[in-house]
Structure 1
Amino acid sequence: MALHEFTRNELDTILKKVVNKTLGQVDVNNVFARTITHPKITGIAGDVVEQSILGYLLCIIFEEPSPKAQLQLQ
């Protein structure tokens, strides 16, 4: 089961609140701020929609470095 499920009516209600607004205006979670230190982030518009409009939580998964990467770090 998906973590986020919306009915058509729920989505209509959520999205009607942001019609005629810019992504900057609806970015209540300051998602665009990440581009200050990482200017080549792609998909930032989708991140704003997911996190600031739909309320998804940011989830970053960190993987252990590969053995080759660990050698380079030493």
Structure 2
Amino acid sequence: MTLALSVGDIACTTTALCLAYQNLGQATVLIYTTFAHYLDARNFPDGNDSADPMQEHLQGLHESLAPQFRAT
């Protein structure tokens, strides 16, 4: 499985992070893999009793983002 990370560069924040932290190599990303009916209750006006906050896992980035980094 190949993972891809897409981020917006609002106010050059991502660029600044890449410059300050070696292109974010060895970063850890928290990934939420879930269906809408398991999302956090605060996203639903009437609450969501079936919300499950444990639907998450950590994924390490083992290579620099520089080769894939491009301005759009």
Please report the TM-score for the alignment, with normalisation by the length of structure 2.
0.25
Tell which structure's C-alpha radius of gyration is larger: 1
Structure with greater strand share of residues: 2
Structure with greater helix share of residues: 1
Please report the TM-score for the alignment, with normalisation by the length of structure 1.
0.25
